[in-house]
Structure 1
Amino acid sequence: MVSAEVLEKLETEFKKLEASDSKSLLKKYLTREIFDQLKTKQTSFGSTLLDCIQSGLANHDSGVGIYAPDAEAYTVFADLFDPIIEDYHNGFKKTDKHPPKDFGDCDTLGNLDPAGEYVVSTRVRCGRSLQGYPFNPCLTEEQYKEMQDKVSSTLSGLEGELKGTYYPLAGMTKEVQQKLIDDHFLFKEGDRFLQTANACRFWPTGRGIYHNENKTFLVWCNEEDHLRIISMQMGGDLGQVFRRLTTAVNDIEKRIPFSHDDRLGFLTFCPTNLGTTIRASVHIKVPKLAANKAKLDEIAGKFNLQVRGTRGEHTEAEGGIYDISNKRRMGLTEYQAVKEMYDGITELIKIEKEL
């Protein structure tokens, strides 16, 4: 049973959202009818509608405003999640099915910028959740510790280029911390959207970072998702970056089963990050295109690309360097998602040269 206290809070905050000029997808799709239909529902982990939408209720400037407190929430609260997923993922309807995993042939993706004139660095990441555990808001302190043990022992089995060290956040020395900050590896607590989604409890327990010796392969444990697996390097060799990620993901999956759904693909905390969960991005300098940001956004949009500031969402472009990535993560394979980014960036560079 959903408690009277939760119902009261839902009611009060819902009215504030209704009256606000919020542009979030939550406001767009949470009608009174849907609200009344879902407000008394719960998952077997005990997650309520409030657990899903509290971040969007607290932050009216959210773009999306909803998270899944556990994998079941996508089903129990489907009447709200489905239209938001369809809107964000370019028409991925509730009758659609995400295709099976396919990393394709990495060798067909070459270097985006062999001369090194435009692409500063290349990065491909994906999110994964461990089967049998809820997502952040519902995890107990014990589960955080248990998951970190599983993850660190799994990663310590990686070999070759992927071999590296796991650094738990709890008890981390100032020197190690500074070194990881300097490398831009360390994630920190305090994102208000995650805070209000209740995703930062028991911090820093159960959180940590793994990286290989070359600093080209990185795993975040229990930041926003259970796992963020990241492959990156300077320059534009997307094929090499993607191949490293593929090897790592397949290797880890042999040891830890991931949460997966036949319809939605790989399940993670944020509905913007389902399906392949792949985000392939470059830091790129296109000064002529960037002189007209609206034009840059328009061209990028044609290729299903998303333009962000240098340090990602909600940041500015520093020194004219933009972070540009694929937007679509659902309804296409891992290979197709990365290929969209490859084709789009190739085209942007071509346009920049012609200006």
Structure 2
Amino acid sequence: MMRFSTLMKHPADWMTGGSTDNSIVLTSRIRLARNLAHHPFPGWAKKNQRRRVMELLQPTVEALPAMKDGFSKELSDLDSMHKQVMVERHLISREHAARGEGSAAVIERRQSVAIMINEEDHLRMQSIRPGLDLGEAFSSLSALDDQLADEVEYAFDGKLGYLTTCPTNLGTGMRASAMLHLPALVLSDQIGQVLQAVNKIGLAVRGIFGEGSESLGHLFQISNQSTLGESEEAILERLGRVIAQVEKNERYAREKLMEDDPDMVRDKIGRAYGLLRHAWLISSKEALEYVSMLRLGADLGCFEDDTVRICDELLMDIQPAHLQLHSGRKLSPEERDAIRAEIVRSRLQSLDAPDTGKIEDQNNGENPPPDLGLA
């Protein structure tokens, strides 16, 4: 199996975007919750019962064709820094990182599929794809789920569907979500209106690390709330439609900002470039905000094509645990701010100043504002 250092050496496939348009919708993620029949669920299981489930599931998951040459580890064999790095890479949840003996993670070598064993449920499986591609993320994970179902017996009820620890996951056991970069909606003070409309139709909006986390770097995660009484296809169709509408809202907000206040847009992008290129101390929150503005500038054509990929890698690499992994030791907050600034300066040293002449009125008035009802 793959070593942790090898896993961390390469960015995940979904982080680099490839040929996919990920200017606004960065990633699509599908997560399935499953439990084994005839075994107590993790929250009620004793330590030896949890270990028995892990010893059954870990080799079974490792043997799946998709997980060949992947990474597999008991969480008790990883220190807190390594676990936090995996949280920052969205490979395991914060709740899973807090668990110890009897829990494990198995991760596909390209980091597109990750399986948590004994998190809140016996199995939490996720698939991540770049851009708006919920269908592909679901089909690849569904195939893997079918393979596992041939090897183990799931806890399933004819009326309720898949049985889960939390009642909100009953039924399909599926959470579908997308991570969106929405700086123009934030700058134009429309974000509240859009997110309120999303909430009204039964979808959840969360921050960069999911439930209970704040939005940083103008990144928002939109996901389904209900999993019972609706098919996977219906959930994906509705969510995809809403995400596509929010994407249109963001595009229109960008056009409107460039029409109404191009100097403000130039100033935000120029300041972000100057501070990131020359700062010697920078906090995580501040860095994420400026990287977000740099990414917006790249999307508007102010920087060379490769800048979006650099920004996406920085969004991950300047997180606290990644900095400590880079340094090989535990860092104080002040040391993190200095090393974060050093890494950012290094990555951006060959980036030319923004061509803000590209920021002009791109809205010819033909496009009406998108419907914020999102229905």
Shorter-chain TM-score bucket reads: 0.5 to 0.7
Q: Which runs of 5+ in 1 are unaligned?
A: 1-110, 192-199
Which structure's residues are more often helix, by fraction?
2
CA gap 1:225/1:160 in 2 versus in 1, 3 angstroms:
closer
Equivalent pair of 1:131/1:259 in contact (CA under 8 Å): yes
Instruction: Count matched residues.
Output: 234
Read off the aligned partner of 2:193 and give its amino acid letter: K
**Cα deviation 1:298-346 (Å, max 9, x = unaligned):** 3213543211111112221111110111222111111211222111111
Determine if contact 1:128/1:227 at 8 Å carries over to the other structure: yes
With 120-129 and 304-313 compared, the bigger mean Cα shift is at 304-313
| Residue of structure 1 in register with 2:208 after alignment | 310
Q: TM-score scaled to structure 2, two decimals?
A: 0.57
Please, which of 86, 89, 94 is the counterpart of residue 180 of structure 1? 86
- Asked if structure 1 preserves the Cα contact closer than 8 Å seen for 2:176 and 2:223, the reply is yes
Please name the residue that 1:129 is paired with: 35
Q: Which of 302, 324, 337 pairs up with 2:235?
A: 337
**CA distance, structure 2, for counterparts of residue 216 and residue 285 of structure 1:** 20
* TM-superposed deviation, 1:173: 5.8
Q: Quote how far apart the aligned CAs of 1:354 are.
A: 3.2
Partner Cα distance (1:151, 1:131) in 2: 13
- Contact 1:125 1:229 survives alignment (8 Å): yes
1:266-313, CA deviations, whole angstroms, 9 ceiling, x for partnerless residues?
111111111112111111022343433431223213543211111112
CA–CA separation in structure 2 for the residues paired with 1:188 and 1:221? 14
Give TM-score scaled by structure 1 length: 0.60
Aligned residue in 2 for 1:278: 174
Residue identity (%):
27
Tell me the residue number matched to 2:160.
264
Residues 161 and 137 of structure 1, relative CA distance in 2, 3 Å threshold: closer
Q: 1 CA distance for matches of 2:35 and 2:133? A: 28
Say which SS state the counterpart of residue 77 (structure 2) adopts: coil
* Higher relative contact order (CA closer than 8 Å, sequence separation 6+): 1
Alignment of 1:57-136 (within 5 A): 115-136=21-42
How many Å apart are 1:179 and its aligned residue? 5.4
Aligned to 2:125: 229
Asked whether the 8 Å contact 1:310–1:323 carries over to 2, the reply is yes
Matching of residues 23-42 of structure 1 within 5 Å: none
SS, match of residue 197 in structure 2: helix
Alpha-carbon distance between aligned partners in 2 of 1:161 and 1:224, rounded to the nearest angstrom:
22
2: CA distance between counterparts of 1:293 and 1:331? 30
Which runs of no fewer than 5 residues in structure 2 stay unpaired? 1-16, 254-375
Q: 1:350 Cα shift?
A: 2.2
SS at match of 1:230: strand
* Aligned-CA RMSD value: 2.6
SS at match of 1:250: helix
- Mean CA deviation greater in 181-190 or 158-167: 181-190
Task: Tell me by how many angstroms 1:235 deviates.
Answer: 2.6
Query: In structure 2, what is the Cα distance between the partners aligned to 1:286 and 1:301?
Result: 16
The alpha-carbon distance between structure 1 residues 162 and 289, as it changes in their structure 2 partners (threshold 3 A), is farther
Q: CA deviation at 1:172?
A: 2.9
Deviation >6 Å, runs of 4+ = none
